[in-house]
Amino acid sequence: MLRNNPTLTIALALTILVELTLMTLLYQEVGDARLGVQALRLLAQGVVLGMMYNRRARFLTILIVFYHFFVFAQQFYSPHTNYGIVRGLMAFHLIAGFLIYQRSWLDTVVFKVKKK
């Protein structure tokens, strides 16, 4: 449930914000050549977010962590890792993956959320 997990809510909101920013930057740079792929990624994240809103979905949470680590690994082995934006995205995906993975601990220690 996203309502009781502020860490997960923040991480997913930041992920969607980063995806929207990437869509805008890519559209300005290369036109609509990659817009379809980016839109599918954003749609998939929106569907997962909607599914996680009212129910506990451990599998979906693990899927999101895997997504972040997969994108990190994909960018790590990319020939374009010398660019600052790619390194920033790598750091974002690595940090977001760990934050989502450790969400229970962060919710209880940092946000003082009482678990039922």
What is the model's pTM? Answer: 0.79
Q: What is the pLDDT of residues 48-98, one digit of tens each?
A: 888 887 777 788 888 889 989 998 998 888 887 677 778 888 899 999 999
Whole-angstrom Cα Rg for the chain = 15
Report DSSP letters for 51-109, one per residue.
HHSSS--HHHHHHHHHHHHHHHHHHHTSTTTTSHHHHHHHHHHHHHHHHHHTHHHHHHH
Residues 6+ apart with CB under 8 A from 17: none
